[in-house]
């Protein structure tokens, strides 16, 4: 997690490191899973810190934030997370289609199960995603 004194301009770099580590799935599946889990955790924590109505805040599971800008950190981390999830699910569908009757490796099934379980818990505000008009400008 970022230290309280970490300037917000470093957030994209720090989140990019997690994203890069998450792409090592074939070579180092445990490292990729841990990095993906940290991206989910980061988005969940930042959502809770920016939304006092979030269930984690209501249950007092989240202490007061030392982070200067959790909204900025969430805006940096959510697109990386969604890109990683999109890639995992896309590869899974492609591999499942191409393997036919052969089952996919257990590790791939566990990875997709993990993604769906984490997505189910995630509650990102729409404001962290760029709108269509922002993409076209």
Please tell me the predicted confidence (pLDDT) of residue 60: 44
Radius of gyration of the chain (CA): 16
Contact at 8 Å (CB) between 18 and 35? yes
Both ends of the chain: CA-CA distance in Å? 33
| pLDDT, tens digit only, all 137 positions of the chain | 444 556 677 777 788 888 877 776 657 778 888 888 888 988 888 888 776 544 544 444 545 545 557 778 888 888 889 989 999 999 999 988 888 788 888 888 898 999 999 999 998 887 777 664 454 44
* Residue from 133, 28, 136, 118 nearest 78 by CA: 118
Helix axes 106-121, 70-99, angle to 10 degrees: 140
């Amino acid at each position: 997690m970022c230290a309280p004194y970490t300037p917000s301009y470093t957030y994209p770099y720090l989140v990019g490191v997690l994203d890069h580590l998450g792409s090592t799935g074939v070579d180092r599946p445990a490292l990729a899973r841990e990095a993906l889990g940290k991206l989910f955790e980061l988005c969940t924590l930042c959502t809770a810190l920016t939304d006092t109505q979030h269930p984690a805040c209501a249950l007092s599971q989240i202490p007061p934030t030392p982070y200067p800008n959790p909204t900025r950190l969430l805006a940096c981390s959510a697109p990386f997370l969604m890109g990683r999830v999109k890639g995992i699910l896309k590869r899974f569908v492609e591999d499942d289609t191409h393997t036919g009757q052969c089952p996919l490796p257990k590790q791939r099934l566990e990875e997709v199960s993990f993604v769906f379980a984490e997505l189910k818990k995630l509650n990102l505000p729409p404001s962290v995603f760029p709108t269509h008009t922002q993409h076209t400008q």
